[in-house]
Structure 1
């Protein structure tokens, strides 16, 4: 099996939904923020319940023991794993929910990295959304050494609107930890990043011109000019679509 198959490698344009403050920090500090695997909002995302444990036996011993056993197992396997999430698109009907949730009611921003041109952190891994996480977990087809990628790249299909790809970073395999910054009591990892890898910036429909112009200023200060777009509502289709950004006069 090739590494691309094992890691669900995705080599294409990908989009990071982020707050304006988060984008400013990314540009100014030249670091991309990752979150530890146990910090996500879905209890079945990066979940110890997807691990190969004796669930039939554990289920007989009560909730508290299950909670304790899964916590210990997960910490041993994934406490060093950090993730940065992207989406495959920002323009589809499903992306409307991305702008609503991660774009904070369409007020924030997203940016593009073309992973077909830039091999940053080994390129992202594509998330899959099986019809049944339970059946997939119990299928017993997960080979030794593949558990980690299975856990971090399989999510409930209620999340398939995200069309997610993930940069996955395990600090156990980093030779020079001095380049990394672990922050927020270990909940986040700031990884060196060249903001000139950002090829496009898309402003949310309700974003403020103040934030838009500030973003452009940040990029001008580092001598970089990505493509800028603005999301609008098309009155003929009642759908979101991007147009080339033009500041008001």
Structure 2
């Protein structure tokens, strides 16, 4: 698994994540794929006789196990990241037609940033590499070597494979890290759905390794973000502008050259100017 993982965001979500220095976790029941983390991914129909004990109906046991899996889904929050930063589809879907940004996160530093008791079961999120399948190959809940919890959280249809997703998964996160969005805060308490409430894990500035600006980014928004992240977030952050590739249906990052003062920071920190900076300078 790569050390740097990526989060695609529209400009509003991006500014919230950068300005608040946190990572949003969404309930597993609220994702855009109805099969995500669904109990039907696992086969509970082959109930062994040892569980039935001669008097418990098989249908009751199946319903009980599926309800347990459904409750697990409803009690689990996750954050979706990607191994890649140049997916045309994700730039279109999640970055509002290439007008947003893609944030590169150092996953090792992210896990070092996990606050005490972020989760009430696990102290820090599980990092799961999503597995993609052509059909739902449902494992037998009672005769399998698979970790059923992980299987439920990390199995997706083959159609989603282009996302190359890695998930941070936290069952039963602590409510002290829950927060309403501005839209949710306007709703009356009687119509709140607790599954729609996000949880936000604080991040240190050093977790933000890079930022990639979309092809259609608003230049004023771009400049505001550049000034903020260099001064207040992480002075060592790598910044890139995505450009249309000339010879194929691809986009590629173009390094945004640091100011002279930033170059001295790089030299002091790394002993030399990164190759991407060298190439950029030599082209001038």
- State how far apart, in whole Å, the 1-side matches of 2:143 and 2:82 are: 27
Structure 1 residue 76 corresponds to structure 2 residue 87:
no
- State how far apart, in whole Å, the 1-side matches of 2:14 and 2:135 are: 36
Q: Secondary structure at the match of 1:101?
A: helix
Alignment of 1:1-249 (within 5 A): 10=1, 12-54=3-45, 72-91=67-86, 95-116=87-108, 118-120=110-112, 121-122=124-125, 124-133=127-136, 135-137=137-139, 142-143=144-145, 146-171=147-172, 177-178=175-176, 180-183=177-180, 184=184, 185-186=193-194, 187=196, 188-225=198-235, 226-245=237-256
Q: Deviations over 1:48-77 (max 9, x none)?
A: 211343399xxxxxxxxxxx9898444422
Q: Give the total of aligned pairs.
A: 218
Q: Spell out structure 1 runs of 4+ moving beyond 6 A.
A: 68-71
- Alpha-carbon contact 1:11-1:124 (below 8 Å) kept: no
Q: TM-score, normalised by structure 2?
A: 0.67
Unaligned runs of 5+ in 1: 1-9, 57-67
Unaligned runs of 5+ in 2: 48-62, 113-123, 185-192, 259-284
Pair member with larger Rg:
2
Q: Secondary structure at the match of 2:40?
A: helix
- State how far apart, in whole Å, the 2-side matches of 1:209 and 1:241 are: 18
- State how far apart, in whole Å, the 2-side matches of 1:156 and 1:223 are: 37
Q: Secondary structure at the match of 2:131?
A: coil
Q: What do you get for the CA RMSD once the two structures are aligned?
A: 2.9
Q: TM-score, normalised by structure 1?
A: 0.76
Higher relative contact order (CA 8 A, sep 6+): 1
